[in-house]
Amino acid sequence: AYQPQMELSTGHVAGIEALLRWRHPDLGIVPPDSFIPIAEETGLIVPLGEWVLATACRQAVAWQQEGHPQLRIAVNVSARQFRQKNLGLRIETILADTGLDPVLLELELTESAVMENPEEAILTLRQLKKMGVTLSIDDFGTGYSSLSHLKHFPIDRLKIDRSFVKHVTRDQNDATIAEAIIALAHSMKLTVVAEGIEHGEQLEFMSQRRCDTMQGYYLSRPVTADEFGEFLKKLGEVEGKGHT
């Protein structure tokens, strides 16, 4: 499934996140938190993650070929995938096979994945960065972060976890944490994405605090590739009318 990301300063759709959903014939749609941990434990997350990456890259190229604007597509990399010695080579191969420009790929990593072995993580991140891809830390604030290590990671973006965004207009502690993450990111020349924006008050809060990008049900639920293609088509029509 695909969910758009919007730049708060311009209102333009700036990117897409590829999300995994399991459509089971009997159980219906199984949420990722029900099957991803099992995939991690069994090692199935590695081929599954590669399939997601290749599918997302191929779909991004297909949208370009249909005439839609080039949008960066974000894909999650699991902790187990990140530990692979040949991760860089595998990603290079997928980019070559699908024809996606590396600058249009964003890899999302969790705090726990990069903090497991910070010295090795820095080497892997530098290798990925040399390829030209964008790197972001997902669910920031929920894991164990050492700021002394964070400053050495060649990352581009921090994503504020939805648990802090949910009550950001009602809980002063959540508001303080969100403000601190935005300030920290900007001081380190990183951009910030707020996940889980579901209503206008949350959007207003993030906009006032100069958060760069938002993502959530307020803009769009995760939708299928065909539905997202229609979303892009309508978006193009709206923006086209705006320029006439």
Overall average pLDDT of the 173-193 stretch: 94
| Residue for token pair 């993450």 | 181
Query: What confidence score (pLDDT) does residue 145 get?
Result: 62
Among 13-22, 126-135, 140-149, the range scoring the smallest mean pLDDT is 140-149
Percent of the chain with pLDDT over 90: 75
What is the residue-averaged pLDDT of the chain?
Answer: 91
What number of other Cβ atoms are within 10 A of residue 72's Cβ? 17
Query: What confidence score (pLDDT) does residue 242 get?
Result: 54
Helix (H, G, I), strand (E, B) or coil at 188: coil
Asked if the model's pLDDT at residue 243 lies above 70, the reply is no
Scanning the chain, the segments in alpha helix (DSSP H) are 32-42, 45-65, 79-82, 87-98, 111-115, 118-130, 147-150, 162-165, 172-187, 200-208, 225-242
Q: Is the dihedral of CA 144, 162, 21, 1 positive or negative?
A: negative
Asked if the model's pLDDT at residue 41 lies above 80, the reply is yes
Question: Between 149 and 17, where is the model more confident?
Answer: 17
Residue 244 — pLDDT band, cuts 50, 70, 90? very low
Overall average pLDDT of the 97-126 stretch: 92
Overall average pLDDT of the 200-208 stretch: 96
User: Tokens in use for 150?
Assistant: 């964070």
Query: What confidence score (pLDDT) does residue 113 get?
Result: 85
Among 158-167, 191-200, 231-240, the range scoring the smallest mean pLDDT is 231-240
Residue 206 — pLDDT band, cuts 50, 70, 90? very high
Query: What confidence score (pLDDT) does residue 146 get?
Result: 64
